[in-house]
Structure 1
Amino acid sequence: MANKVELGNTGISIHPVGLGANKIGYENEETNTEYGGKIITQAMNQGLNFIDTAFMYGHGLSEEIIGKTLKENGFRNDAVLATKGSHRYEGGQMVHDNTPSFLYKAMDDSLKRLQTDVIDLFYIHFPDDDTPKYEAVGALQRMREAGKIRAIGVSNFSMDQLKEANQDGYLDVVQGNYNLLERSAEKDLFPYLLENGISFVPYFPFASGLLAGKYTKDTILSDRQKKRPQFQDETYLRNVEKVEYLHKIADKHGVAPAHVVLAYYLTLDPVDAVIPGARNREQVTDNLKAVEVNLTADDIQLIENVFPVQA
């Protein structure tokens, strides 16, 4: 079992492999709560304590399942809960709202669904178009001072928005799109995060499964997949060839390419944790193999040569 690590400079201790709970609220079955509860229970029993959710994951259902499971099993004190808010309905449409008044409401609603008195990490899920970002983060700081949250995060913010949001130095964590095929964050974002003591949590770590080694040049792609840039024509074939190098490293370590990818992310300075999802209990246990992979300097160099940072 991996040693716990500190999430940035928050004083919060987490397992470096967390659980992305976006799928838990999406099972269209009557057994949804049981299904999600079993995944959460498996994670906690395995020592995985960092659970990442959001209102938008099933419109509160993921949060409800997590809250119910943790309370019924006495796990709350051992869990580190991260959730996100910014979405609300307006005229039948989903819009983003970062106003302090809305964030206060979103926070209180999440607290109720999670059945807890404090949320360990609360993110602004997406920026809106109008609210000054320092005002939005300032509202979260007041929630922290009131004891409702322990750490402050933002997700999907541009560099300019991030700098504005952090003008008072309140930010602890940034969550954003990052993987071996999309490394642009390393150019400007990572240096800023390191300079300001902010932790980075990547999402889309496997680039829709490409980096997990699920595809070959002969795989028949769906129309939906074909619309994604990394799956198109020659780009797709080049990506599959690159992933062959991950297979070679994985074979050497006796694991799967997905474990190599997660292990690599954990070698990056701003990254304290990864949050792969899981559709069942077996996947929870499988994800934990990533912390057992000790990549060599040659492994890391090969990965960075094959998947260079884009110019």
Structure 2
Amino acid sequence: MTERIALGKSDLLVHPIGLGTNAVGGHNLYPNLNEETGKELVRTALDSGMNFLDTAFIYGPERSEELIGEVLKERGSRDDIVIATKGAHKFVNGEVKLDNSPAFLREAVEGSLKRLQTDYIDLYYIHFPDEQTPKDEAVGELKRLRDEGKIKAIGVSNFSIDQLKEANKDGYVDVLQSEYNLFQREAEKDLLPYTAENQISFIPYFPLASGLLAGKYSKDSKFDDIRAENPLFKGEAFERNLEKVEKLREISESNHADVAHVVLAWYLTRDSIDALIPGAKRPDQVLDNLKTLDVQLTREEIERIDSIFRG
């Protein structure tokens, strides 16, 4: 059995490969999702030994949490399953607003508990910071919810270094989730060092850059989902990015692995990155992500990967 890793200062133990579930009921993110396939992604992950599921209110909205809740109910027990979800978004007159106020976070947690059909959430994140709520005040409410047993660990997502420091003023933050991949490495300047120094686990989202780092696209690939607006997938930048990914094939071949496995293995060599949450749209992709753990990169290979993407 793969060794489980503790998240931050909490006692949550997770498999290093989890499942990001924005394709489980995330109808507002991807067109034509099949909900039964989405539930099968979750079943496959849990049956394979993965125990870390990452979702959010805004995936759907709400529907991802609901589908995961249905799978949890099927299983009858959620022992050893670590559920992470996020809140901060609310709808006001048809528009999405951000709200980190204590009252709203409490309301959001209660809503997630109902949709997930559970009486506690393992890891609850503030999904995005708002502009008005003091960050330590928002986290303070999550601390109270933790004391009440409604959540077990506290996370923040998409916080800048200054926002993270304010949020962690009393040392309550266990996990930071932020965008970080080989193309987008701003987090290395200050977020990764801070999390490593303060026993905060760093969970990168979109670790495969929405599939770009999986080595499966060509310059003729077309996109009709959220990737269509992503600068990484546009014009000459897209072609340059594909050239960089192609340079990883030598490393992947020497490891008898796919490019995606090499990329995911690279993350697990970074300080404070304890677990990954790659997404999937098919059950076989869920299982394929587990092959990451068979890749043991050498120091020279790690340096080579860095040089490719810094060039």
- Deviations, residues 30-53 of structure 1 (Å, cap 9, x unaligned): 962x32222111111100000000
Distance 1:212 1:278 in 2: 12
- Indicate how the Cα distance of structure 1 residues 253 and 96 shifts in structure 2: closer, same or farther if over 3 A, else same: same
- Indicate how the Cα distance of structure 1 residues 304 and 290 shifts in structure 2: closer, same or farther if over 3 A, else same: same
Greater CA deviation, 224-233 or 297-306?
224-233
Of 63, 71, 74, the match for 2:73:
71
Q: Which residues of structure 1 form unaligned runs of 5+?
A: none
Once the two structures are TM-superposed, the CA of residue 282 in structure 1 deviates from its matched residue by 0.8
- The aligned counterpart of 2:240 is 238
Greater CA deviation, 204-213 or 102-111?
204-213
1:133-212 paired onto structure 2 within 5 Å: 133-212=135-214
Once the two structures are TM-superposed, the CA of residue 229 in structure 1 deviates from its matched residue by 2.6
Once the two structures are TM-superposed, the CA of residue 60 in structure 1 deviates from its matched residue by 1.3
- In the alignment, structure 1 residue 269 sits paired with structure 2 residue 275: no
Distance 2:257 2:77 in 1: 30
- Tell me the TM-score normalised to structure 2 length: 0.93
Distance 1:115 1:105 in 2: 15
Q: Which amino acid aligns with 2:220?
A: T
Q: Which amino acid aligns with 2:136?
A: Y
Of 276, 280, 283, the match for 1:281:
283
- Indicate how the Cα distance of structure 1 residues 260 and 30 shifts in structure 2: closer, same or farther if over 3 A, else same: closer
Distance 2:130 2:16 in 1: 30
| Aligned 8 A contact 1:44 1:75 in 2 | no
- Give the aligned CA root-mean-square deviation in angstroms: 1.9
- The aligned counterpart of 2:116 is 114
The count of aligned residue pairs is 307
Q: Which residues of structure 2 form unaligned runs of 5+?
A: none
| Aligned 8 A contact 2:57 2:64 in 1 | yes
Q: Which amino acid aligns with 1:108?
A: E
| Aligned 8 A contact 2:24 2:64 in 1 | yes
Distance 1:112 1:195 in 2: 36
Distance 1:30 1:258 in 2: 23
- Deviations, residues 252-283 of structure 1 (Å, cap 9, x unaligned): 11221111111110111110011011112111
- Deviations, residues 101-132 of structure 1 (Å, cap 9, x unaligned): 00001001111111111110000001111111
| Aligned 8 A contact 1:211 1:258 in 2 | yes
Q: Which amino acid aligns with 1:219?
A: D
Q: Which amino acid aligns with 1:113?
A: R
1:75-94 paired onto structure 2 within 5 Å: 75-94=77-96
Distance 2:106 2:234 in 1: 43
Distance 2:224 2:43 in 1: 36
- Indicate how the Cα distance of structure 1 residues 297 and 82 shifts in structure 2: closer, same or farther if over 3 A, else same: same
Question: How high is the sequence identity, in percent, across the aligned residues?
Answer: 54
- The aligned counterpart of 1:13 is 13
- Indicate how the Cα distance of structure 1 residues 226 and 70 shifts in structure 2: closer, same or farther if over 3 A, else same: closer
- Indicate how the Cα distance of structure 1 residues 214 and 152 shifts in structure 2: closer, same or farther if over 3 A, else same: same
